[in-house]
Structure 1
């Protein structure tokens, strides 16, 4: 048994005081803090937030020997129990890091729990000390002494901890208990949590009912009568702005922006986020890429199947609210149209990265976006979702559908905890549609788009381009500290050919002062060489750019007025997630 105690008693310090106790089995013991957390493929070097490490055995202080930046070696005088104490700065508010202040605490335990050599598969007990009036929400079995018990280190690290003066709301899905906890970062702390109104539920009184319906739709999609987890915890951080989520075996942590909820489609986007992370209960957490069986917490692991893990999940999260009876067909087409437009307007898909490369390079590109990212990469979430749409429509030509492939993989591998390799995916698709033996590898490795118009025509849909209202200059500018600064230059576009670079301050165009981003467009004339005055590293320069004709600004997904009745029937079956 390893005992991990976390003291959140001084929230305004942003410091979590950690105590880890164990009984060593060998005279030389190694300790290591994970470098990343599963589901978020970026080395985060959590050790940079660890401080004041000290180790005692009885009354004796032990000096650890640093073996590498995140690891230590202990030479022990005896095999008596030891206690390891340290502090961790919790000042980063995301779903994969730690945050502690006077309003709440959120802990990603990969950032807090040292892995003790030889104890990975031993039980780990978690204890918390909280400020007065706070309670903890932990997706682990609660023990009689108020602690929580994880079967092993992996289950401990897979446990997000939310704490604060919140309250939870209980509901069930197919008889399985679920809890919903919302930390509203925008609400004034005017009353205790047990009497304060829940502003999100007040604004959306059907929220829990809709969340339950989405969860039930996930079960139907997977062909399962009940969820994969025996109990489930939703934690929502409602911020002014923000979006994201991280999946766990029996819980998820979400971030969503209140500003987004003010838009008509915002509530639907929240339910899509719920659907995405809840579906991960099957696809990713249990139906897991073999490269993550078991997880190596110390270094990056290439996971070529991320396009399936995230792309297929992203595709279905658009359909699940509709399957739950909450969103309309028009909503689904609008949302798929938005994704298709983003995809077609991302130049990196054509030369920067194949879909397989996008997955393989997740550790160094996706989570480290910069000004040129759209030119040299494509998200495996986005392109994976577009490929999932294409695969679904291709499978329907053979009388099957993508949901059946997902269920096949779940029944053969996921249900038994067996990791899948790319060959397993290919075999599952080819078993339902033999023609994919050639097409799928080509789509994964190539840069040519699938024949989207033809596949959309199968279900009576079409893509319509919309041109921008002004000539194309190939740059994006925004106000940065009171100056108008170039934040993106399109590769091969008129601005790059004219010599502009990211970071240039825009001063004037054709002698007219530029003060805000929208000042430039009305001055552009396609095909004419025009002068732009900039400041670069403090020196004024005048460059010449020649704007091109207006480019496609967005694509719209529309119903094809000439669609045959059979195509309309296929569309109904597609939206109902049943095979043709």
Structure 2
């Protein structure tokens, strides 16, 4: 029995897909269809059913009654003949999570457009993707990691999926796009870039191939997929990615992509390569090595786990490390990336409030729903999780004299859980990850895990890095754009209000008021607009200068708008805290060279 799906660009100018589902043997008691509430890899209830504009059903050429039986469920009246369900789906989400359609391109994740046939989710699926009619669409192609071929009439493409879970785990891009192909460890890979850009495709091919080969060899050949696809959308400003079993959907700023005349690695391109590395690593760590809560995915409701630090945090640790191991960044550039992560955590008061395990468990209600108080109340399981992974790696290496590492733990996880996941379908229980790490390394790591995952204590980064010949520097920020890194001549402490700002319609808006800062003590709040300090107009460019006009602690009068009300505040700026980290290899530490080289190279 096979479920047949068909998707067509019903009205590109209105951003409407038409989706038809054909069921040869519907439930005689009345067939139920349902759409997922969330997409794996993005832990927020997104209610994809809200984009459904209309639903209808026919059987034997006659309309069949259909009713909404829940927020994401439809039930069709009983019929003993084949059944056809038709939906119109609004698609104007430019992110990597949803569906998009206009006259220039189409993109969709199956979670947002394909309803499951209740009770037949394990049936094989055929998908026909129709090319829009009209001369202007004649050059449109398709890019997807689903097995596919052009239909006999040339009007589209036929794609095959083993079951519904397989169908929705391969995003599809249709349109005109740049395409470059390569092999990594013998496996076909493809990079597709949609949107306007002038990217140096040869350099992209070379650099991304190096990342892929480093990661395949890390876990061991062969790769767990027959081919792999990087679907990339280039826009004016954007950043993000979402992993899938044999592909990833990426969005980036077109200016971050390398140009033919560029020889160095600009920060934006380094960030893009880190994103590529991160999503590719997920092909092993979360798509096949899974927490038990995701095996299988329950897409009708939240799937809570305390292990997101391990799947997102550890992946975030390895994404930049793999750039170094692939020869794409230098050791100092890698240390700068660690320093920036340390700085990000240091500047987040929520690190003293929320543990990594709680951050993982609360992802559904906090991480993906940030507000003006988020820095004060929570921590990122991505960023702090990456630093916890770094500490774990260095701890294992130090306590085993370099005989074991986090690399060994990841490979053991792969062998035990990931390699044959399609056969056993078993995920990792909440404490099983820690047990396996201790089994592989022969160490009692319970104290480490209690401190790093279940407390809000500071991570022992400085001490551990020092044992690998790396010197740490904690200093004040040199300005608003200072994200971290070593400075030979650190700036002198300045005055601080304890705020984060953005320019909004020419005015300086408080986006966050940090706990314990002068602004919070004075009663300023997020979303206030700063107008003046001591009678002088304040802007993003002169804020630091105005604050430096008097010694810390002296009273300053701030005038601000809160909504449409003019308010006055007496503020006593504080001396800026040292919250910015820098790292560098310490001179004269020859004894550390070997252990550091083994860590950074993975050899």
Range into which the TM-score falls when normalised by the shorter chain: over 0.9
Deviation digits for residues 39-94 of structure 1, max 9, x if unmatched?
A: 11111001111012111112321222222111122221x31011111111111101
Deviation at 1:414, TM superposition (A): 1.4
In the alignment, structure 1 residue 218 sits paired with structure 2 residue 215: yes
Equivalence for 2:47: 45
Equivalence for 1:249: 245
Closer, same or farther: CA 297–346 of 1 in aligned 2, 3 Å:
same
Stretch of structure 1 that moved more, 469-478 or 387-396: 469-478
Deviation digits for residues 428-463 of structure 1, max 9, x if unmatched?
A: 221204231222133211000122111011111122
Equivalence for 1:140: 146
CA distance in 2, matches of 1:201, 1:445: 45
CA distance in 1, matches of 2:430, 2:447: 14
CA distance in 2, matches of 1:209, 1:63: 56
TM-score by length of 1: 0.93
Equivalence for 1:517: 540
Q: Secondary structure at the match of 1:66?
A: strand
Equivalence for 1:405: 409
Q: Is the 8 A contact 2:199 2:257 kept in 1?
A: no
Q: After superposition, where does 1:358-437 map in structure 2 within 5 Å?
A: 358-397=359-398, 398=400, 399-417=403-421, 418-431=426-439, 432-437=441-446
Q: Secondary structure at the match of 1:56?
A: strand
Deviation at 1:520, TM superposition (A): 2.4
In the alignment, structure 1 residue 506 sits paired with structure 2 residue 553: no
Deviation digits for residues 144-186 of structure 1, max 9, x if unmatched?
A: 7441110000000101001101242221112111111111x23
Equivalence for 2:494: 470
CA distance in 2, matches of 1:42, 1:306: 13
Closer, same or farther: CA 168–523 of 1 in aligned 2, 3 Å:
closer
Q: Is the 8 A contact 2:10 2:16 kept in 1?
A: no
Q: After superposition, where does 1:92-491 map in structure 2 within 5 Å?
A: 92-131=93-132, 132-142=138-148, 145=151, 146-183=157-194, 185-187=195-197, 199-201=198-200, 205-222=202-219, 224-261=220-257, 264-351=266-353, 353-397=354-398, 398=400, 399-417=403-421, 418-431=426-439, 432-468=441-477, 470-491=494-515
Q: Is the 8 A contact 1:139 1:251 kept in 2?
A: yes
Equivalence for 1:575: 600
Say how many residue pairs are matched: 559
Q: Is the 8 A contact 2:225 2:246 kept in 1?
A: yes
Q: Is the 8 A contact 1:395 1:433 kept in 2?
A: no
Deviation digits for residues 298-354 of structure 1, max 9, x if unmatched?
A: 100112111111111110111112211222112211111111111222111111x10
- Which structure 2 segments of 5+ residues have no match? 133-137, 152-156, 259-264, 478-492
Closer, same or farther: CA 513–270 of 1 in aligned 2, 3 Å:
closer
CA distance in 1, matches of 2:566, 2:447: 55
Q: Structure 1 residue runs of 4+, over 4 Å off? A: none
Q: Secondary structure at the match of 1:349?
A: helix
CA distance in 2, matches of 1:404, 1:18: 46
- Which structure 1 segments of 5+ residues have no match? 188-198
Q: Is the 8 A contact 2:305 2:430 kept in 1?
A: no
Deviation digits for residues 276-304 of structure 1, max 9, x if unmatched?
A: 11111111111111111111111001121
Deviation at 1:268, TM superposition (A): 2.2
Closer, same or farther: CA 535–450 of 1 in aligned 2, 3 Å:
closer
Deviation digits for residues 557-580 of structure 1, max 9, x if unmatched?
A: 122235x322122111110113xx
Closer, same or farther: CA 548–433 of 1 in aligned 2, 3 Å:
farther
Deviation at 1:479, TM superposition (A): 2.2
TM-score by length of 2: 0.90
Closer, same or farther: CA 467–144 of 1 in aligned 2, 3 Å:
closer
CA distance in 2, matches of 1:66, 1:342: 46
CA distance in 1, matches of 2:505, 2:60: 56
Q: Is the 8 A contact 1:242 1:256 kept in 2?
A: yes
Deviation at 1:112, TM superposition (A): 0.3
Deviation digits for residues 391-425 of structure 1, max 9, x if unmatched?
A: 00001011311110000111112112121113221
Q: Secondary structure at the match of 1:18?
A: strand
Q: Secondary structure at the match of 1:270?
A: helix
Deviation at 1:553, TM superposition (A): 4.7
Out of 554, 565, 575, the position equivalent to 1:539 is: 565
Q: Is the 8 A contact 1:458 1:570 kept in 2?
A: no
Equivalence for 2:556: 530
CA distance in 1, matches of 2:63, 2:457: 63
CA distance in 2, matches of 1:43, 1:201: 38
Q: Is the 8 A contact 1:143 1:149 kept in 2?
A: no
Stretch of structure 1 that moved more, 165-174 or 364-373: 165-174
CA distance in 2, matches of 1:74, 1:10: 26
Deviation at 1:505, TM superposition (A): 2.1
Deviation at 1:471, TM superposition (A): 0.4
Deviation at 1:143, TM superposition (A): 5.0
Deviation digits for residues 361-395 of structure 1, max 9, x if unmatched?
A: 11111111121111111111111100000000001
Deviation at 1:135, TM superposition (A): 1.0
Q: Secondary structure at the match of 2:88?
A: strand
Q: Is the 8 A contact 1:43 1:299 kept in 2?
A: yes
Q: Is the 8 A contact 1:394 1:455 kept in 2?
A: yes
Q: Secondary structure at the match of 1:233?
A: strand
Q: Secondary structure at the match of 2:466?
A: helix
Equivalence for 1:66: 68
